[in-house]
């Protein structure tokens, strides 16, 4: 099995590699489209602006490769934080920008009315909605994961939400659709729960 972590100059790839190495999962960081298309699994990490991320994807010739890998070859893909957000139809961060469109919904900033510190940083409880979720197999219905973000996918915008979290308002913590998986939190920073989730993905 070969897991490719996509390098699009927006990520925390090193910490994801460390977590996978700890689990004994063979992985490689790459920005080569052909390598991505030959992967058994793909992970898109990410920290930063939605718009800059999508600009980088196109400039580095990664957009078409990822679309082909996911939609045509049906390779299993995991988006982490910004990586998950890129799977949606539109992101507001940095100016309205089209995403990959794999998952219904748009990414917008937390409401200013919630009166909480931004970004949302630290461990928070994630409620798993689907007992058949592949990512959360073996985890408690409510489990803690580590978040760092100011933008989110609203809870009502997508039919493929498998877990939610609350920070002044309810938002999507994880999505699953066929071979497409995404988490708003950082599993590589979420200790044993995050390692279990990454292990589940690697064994799909």
Residues with catalytic function: 81, 186, 188
Nearest residue to 150 via CA among 111, 180, 200, 197: 111
Contacts of 102 (CB under 8 A, 6+ apart): 70, 71, 87, 88, 177, 180
CA distance 95 to 98: 10
CA distance 142 to 125: 6
Cα dihedral 91, 161, 171, 122, rounded to 10, equals -100
CA distance 151 to 163: 16
194 to each of 34, 80, 95, 102, 147, how far by Cα in Å? 29, 11, 31, 23, 11
Query: Residue 88 — φ and ψ, nearest 5°?
Result: -85, -175
CA distance 39 to 101: 21
């Amino acid at each position: 099995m070969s897991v490719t972590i996509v390098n699009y100059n927006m990520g925390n790839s090193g910490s994801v590699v460390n977590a996978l190495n700890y689990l004994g999962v063979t992985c490689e960081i790459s920005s080569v489209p052909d390598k991505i298309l030959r992967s058994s699994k793909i992970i898109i990490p990410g920290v930063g602006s939605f718009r800059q991320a999508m600009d980088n994807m196109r400039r580095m010739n990664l957009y078409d490769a990822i679309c082909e890998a996911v939609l045509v070859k049906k390779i299993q893909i995991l988006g982490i934080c910004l990586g998950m957000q890129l799977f949606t139809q539109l992101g507001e961060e940095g100016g309205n920008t089209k995403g990959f469109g794999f998952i219904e919904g748009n990414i917008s900033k937390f409401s200013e009315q919630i009166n909480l510190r931004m970004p949302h940083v630290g461990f928070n409880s994630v409620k798993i909605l689907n007992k058949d979720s592949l990512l959360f197999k073996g985890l408690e219905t409510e489990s803690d994961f580590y978040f760092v973000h100011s933008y989110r996918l609203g809870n009502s915008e997508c039919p493929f939400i498998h877990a939610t979290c609350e920070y002044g308002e309810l938002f999507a913590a994880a999505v699953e659709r066929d071979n497409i998986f995404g988490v708003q939190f950082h599993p590589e920073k979420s200790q044993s729960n995050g390692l279990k989730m990454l292990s589940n993905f690697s064994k799909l």
